[in-house]
Structure 1
Amino acid sequence: MKSSRLVSILLLLQTRGRMTAAQLAQELEVSVRTVYRDVEALGAAGVPLYGDAGHAGGYRLLDGYRTRLTGLTAGEAEALFLAGVPGPAAQLGLGPVLAAAQLKVRAALPPPLRAHADRISGRFHLDAPGWYADAAAGDPAHLAAVADAVWNDRVLSVVYRRWREPTDVERRLEPYGLVLKAGRWYVVAGPGPRTFRVDQILELTVSQEVFTRPEGFDLASHWTAYQRGFHERLYRDRQEAVVRLAPGVTLPRAVPLDGPAGPDGRTVVRVPIESVEHAHADFLRLGTDVEVLRPPELRERIARTVRELAARYGNSRAGGGD
């Protein structure tokens, strides 16, 4: 802990110039007395560190004392700071590590490249989750344990909730890697490998058993192939619906059917749907701008939902309950 703090003091002075003991203590969340001891330790180790008394005083390094990273271009320096996403790093328990790593890289950059890196940090911020992510839900309960098992090649025994019956199943997982997709964590695990949502893990036990990763397995390549296969299956297995659309309303991949538009300007199109369940929710959001003609089960399901809504709202007093 002390050695890490000594390095942090050195890097802070290297990047910011003169700093008082109070400023260093606030930055490192330690007492001023601790800073005094650390400064003495750095001096004893041969670091050219000087302290100036007075109101404008403080500690500073001898001019020219710094470590530089060589071979970095401006674009590479920018990419290093753009790639560090603080939210996911914090979820994995790596927030302080990421901050320390960025501080070290910034301190070692020559001034022109440091300016490029600062420009990126000030102008771009990556926020992975979607707008409707449940912020109150917090991080997946077992994310840290899964990450630790990934790192140490430990077998996991889990109770996992899936969408089809039986919903809650027991699984033995050999976790190869973690993937963050649209704000949601997935674990790629053997045998298979297969993909599991971390937030759907209900119970988890870390085994002492160590597994052997498949030779040549590459997480990024596997995930790219998995996504490609997912979309291929999605489109191959989709059903179709025939719907009547209001003027100006469009749907993705809709194919107009032969015949002119009706007197009200509505057109009939054929559109692929993933399932009756998904289409039910998607078409309800469009309200009266869409009328489902086929399949019959989808039309009836939407009609039933509308009747239930009409009954509920028709029997409720404005501003009151049942």
Structure 2
Amino acid sequence: MKSSRLVSILLLLQARGRMTAAELAEELEVSVRTVYRDVEALSAAGVPLYGDAGHAGGYRLLDGYRTRLTGLTVGEAQALFLSGAPGPAADLGLGSVLAAAQLKVRAALPPELRAQADRISGRFHLDAPGWYADADETPYLSAVADAVWNNHILHIVYRRWRTPTDVERRLEPYGLVLKAGRWYVVAGPGPRTFRVDQILQLATEEEEFTRPDDFDLTAYWTAYQRDFHARLKQGQAVVRLAPGVRLARQAEAEAEAEAEADGRTDGDGWTVATVPIESLDHAHAEFLRLGTGIEVLEPPELRAKIARTIAELAEKYGNLGMRGGD
């Protein structure tokens, strides 16, 4: 819509200063001729916008001019207030800053959009962490955030899962990511990913590092998640699932759904499914949780491993039962 595009031009010039017609056209995905017409419309509406000719020219707003956010649509206003995450902002020491920013934006909205923003804030609340896990202790989160913002080098003692567990690392922190209630810092060289709650000691250098110009935090995290899930699927298992039994992991649940859609159900009503597994040990622990609701058919080494565990449990609980009868 033209009205939305006019507001976009205003906000772009307000945020970036001088921009050429070609730059505006590329940003808005329209022709340069359309930009010329839009600029004329803004000038006719009294917006103090002027253009400079020449190689270093372009359009800019008169110094000191600021537009109010009256160009927001209802959906944009709702999304803006829905995206406010007071928990993570407070974790980073920005709780009061977020509240002040939302207050200023709310004051700039016209009455009808202000009512919509208040409505969605009162009806939706985002709480990312799961029910059955305590919040991670992240005493160094604010220090890591400060280093990310100021490009300061960090020296940490980090606890990892493999031996040696406690290691020293020098980090160039590029960004922070909040995933499922847990904070991660993405840092060079590499880059690599570290859990903030596993930092045992931290020291900050005043020396600044140079952040790579081509590093994109969103793109990196998307690729990291894709690689992480690919690493989880190191093998496959063929299992029989009792009616109503659901597998916990999403990838396995999807495989189960596919099996049901294919109609691979035996005469007892059990579903036969091929599911990805991370490792024999991990699958052993996961499948045992389902008790008699699952039977492992393949691979044979996993079936044998579970059979041994069941035999050991039967012997242990059988002995307990005999002692109780005495």
How far apart, in 1, do the equivalents of 2:309 and 2:207 lie? 50
C-alpha contact 1:158 1:201 (8 A) present in aligned 2 = yes
Change in Cα spacing, 1:116 to 1:134, as seen in structure 2 (3 Å) is same
CA contact (8 A) 2:138 2:197 kept: yes
Q: What does residue 241 of structure 2 align with?
A: 245
Name 2:72's counterpart in structure 1.
Answer: 72
Match of 2:100 in 1: 100
Counterpart for residue 132 of structure 1: 132
Amino acid aligned to 1:253: A
Distance in 1 (alpha carbons) for counterparts of 2:281 and 2:172 = 33
Amino acid aligned to 1:143: L
- Out of 274-283 and 169-178, give the one that drifted further: 274-283
Report Cα offsets for 1:33-58 as digits up to 9, x if no partner: xxxxxxxxxxxxxxxxxxxxxxxxxx
Q: Specify the SS of the correspondent of 1:117.
A: helix
Residues 1:110 and 1:277: Cα distance change in structure 2 (over 3 Å): same
Q: Which amino acid aligns with 1:121?
A: S
1:221 to 216, 219, 222: 219
Q: Residue 283 of structure 1: which of 282, 287, 295 is its match? A: 287
1:270 counterpart SS class = strand
Alignment of 1:7-156 (within 5 A): 68-135=68-135, 137=136, 139-156=137-154
The separation in 2 between residues aligned to 1:247 and 1:154, in whole angstroms, is 56
Deviation of 1:114 (Å): 0.7
Secondary structure in 1 matching 2:255: coil
Task: Tell me the CA shift for residue 296 of structure 1.
Answer: 4.2
The answer as to whether partners of 1:154 and 1:175 remain within 8 angstroms in 2 is yes
CA distance in 1, matches of 2:317, 2:99: 53
| Alpha-carbon distance in structure 1 between the residues aligned to 2:183 and 2:133 | 13
Q: Is the counterpart of residue 302 in structure 1 residue 306 in structure 2?
A: yes
Cα 1:71–1:205 change in 2 (3 A) is same
Superposed, 1:200-239 pairs within 5 Å as 200-235=198-233, 238-239=234-235
Separation of aligned partners in 1, 2:228 and 2:141: 24
Any idea what SS the aligned residue of 1:253 has? Answer: helix
Asked if the contact 2:156/2:202 (under 8 Å) is kept, the reply is yes
Q: Is the 8 A contact 2:255 2:273 kept in 1?
A: no
Q: Alpha-carbon deviations, 1:107-140, whole Å to 9, x = none? A: 22221111011011011111111222214x5x41
Please say if residues 232 and 277 of structure 2, whose CA atoms lie closer than 8 Å, have aligned partners that are also in contact. Answer: no
Shift of 1:305: 4.4
What is the aligned partner in structure 2 of residue 177 from structure 1? 175
> Which runs of 5 or more structure 2 residues have no equivalent in the other structure?
1-66, 247-252, 322-326
Distance 1:262 1:113 in 2: 57
Q: Measure, in 1, the Cα distance between the counterparts of 2:184 and 2:293.
A: 37
Percent of counterpart pairs with the same letter? 72
1:185 is displaced (CA, Å) by: 0.7
Cα distance, 1:111–1:270 mapped onto 2, change above 3 Å: closer
User: What is the letter of the counterpart of residue 112 of structure 2?
Assistant: P
Give the conservation status (yes or no) of the 8 Å contact 1:68–1:110.
no
SS of match in other structure, 1:185: strand
> How many correspondences in the alignment?
245
Q: Does 1:274 align with 2:278?
A: yes
SS at match of 1:188: strand
Shift of 1:307: 5.2
2:236 partner amino acid: E
Contact 1:92 1:143 (8 Å CA) reproduced: yes
Report the alpha carbon displacement of residue 262 of structure 1 after superposing the two structures with TM.
Answer: 6.1
* Structure 1 unmatched ranges of 5 or more: 1-66, 317-322
The alpha carbon displacement at 1:92 in A equals 0.8
Separation in structure 1 between the aligned mates of residue 237 and residue 71 of structure 2, nearest angstrom? 58
Length-normalised TM-score, structure 2:
0.66
Question: 1:96 is matched by which residue type in structure 2?
Answer: S
